[in-house]
Amino acid sequence: MHRKISVIGLGYVGLPVAVAFGRKARTIGFDVNRERIAELRKNLDRTGEVSSEELAAADLLFTDAITDLAAADFHIVAVPTPVDDANRPDLSLLLRASETVGRALKQGDIVVYESTVYPGVTEEVCVPILERESGLKCGVDFKVGYSPERINPGDKVHRLETIVKVVSGMDEQTLDIVARVYELVVEAGVYRAASIKVAEAAKVIENSQRDINIAFMNELSIIFNKLGIDTKSVLEAAGTKWNFLKFTPGLVGGHCIGVDPYYLTYKAEQVGYHSQIILSGRRINDGMGCYVAENAVKCLIRADRHIKGARVVILGFTFKENCPDTRNTRVIDVYHELMEYGIKPLIADPQADAQEAMHEYGIEFVDMDSIKDMDAVILAVAHDEFKSIDITRMDAFFGDGQKVLLDLKGLMDRREYEAAGYEYWRL
């Protein structure tokens, strides 16, 4: 399959895609962020998804010049599709990327979108932009397809190459070309979806399903905490049944699980259906930051600590463990809610992108070694560095009086800490 590949958007998704194709042939990696391009040209990836060695070994042209895209005839668009402050789909980056590709488009090209969208966006929203910018006709001069990304940031096992890739095309000929192109790099193989809309829908329900399951765990956690029952112990017991789904409670952030359900419900409302289960799950998960902060305050009260001005540190700020990405982290909800109680928590995260956290949230991290005289510690993210903390190290974080530990991910031995006199709480 002799196609010249370009990848538009070199973030957590686009860069691994570009590198995978760059191992096979010359690949163009395009991003509007000049700082990002400069770093990648030096074989540096601040996201940690791709090593310097992998970047150096791939045949890649990193560029922010639209003219360079004209050398490719198979364009993969992998830009973020977040939601706005009202949880409505924000397609602004996708629309701009479509304009960019449209300006470089020529006869015979294929454009494949990987960004998460609601069913219909590729053909009804993106195609008109491609046609307007290029002066070409879709289906006659160029073709489109959709292949949803399944990359899991920070996961070194489930990679592009090892996950079955869903592919789709506007017609059978396009589908065949798209499938064969991705088969060059996806060792696990491809699944040919019946249509572009089917592939778009498959993506949003994958993460909506996970979101609902975690919401159920979070609701159970709320119930069991009111009943004085340890949720983790309940889940371990229930998990001995062969068909019990092993989800756990927690803060649900990131670019997929906390976002994709809103894309589906937005489209559902356009056709007159108001989601019940999906939005109910979203409400539960969106409220967990406040719930954690409220319980931190209750724990401080039980430990006879003053609330206003209490010294609290949050360990972990990224949206998931062992990943530097802080965008759409729900730890920020805990932070803001504690501020409402007159508590300005410190935050430590040895894995997080400190520059990104300052830019996105105005948050400056403290060094782990500087943490002392705390009233409470909130262990929020299951980084490997935090898993190795023993009770002696934990003790050193605190001052005099009863120690308060909120272990959101259940990383520590509850009995050990309670036996040591801690006020211990977990989801």
User: Which residue numbers are catalytic?
Assistant: 256
- Helices 196-227 and 260-270 cross at an angle (nearest 10°) of 110
Cβ partners under 8 Å of residue 238, min gap 6: 244
For tokens 């249509």, the residue is 195
Contact criterion met (CB below 8 Å) for 311 and 236: no
Report how far Cα 285 is from the mean position of its chain's Cα atoms: 15
Alpha-helical (H) ranges within 52-187 are 52-57, 66-69, 92-104, 121, 127-134, 172-183
Tokens of 64: 């922010």
DSSP letters, 311-354, are -EEEE--SSSTT----TT-SHHHHHHHHHHTT---EEE-SSS-H
User: What are the residues facing 192 on neighbouring strands?
Assistant: 167
Name the residue among 195, 100, 99 with its Cα closest to residue 145.
195
Contact criterion met (CB below 8 Å) for 49 and 16: yes
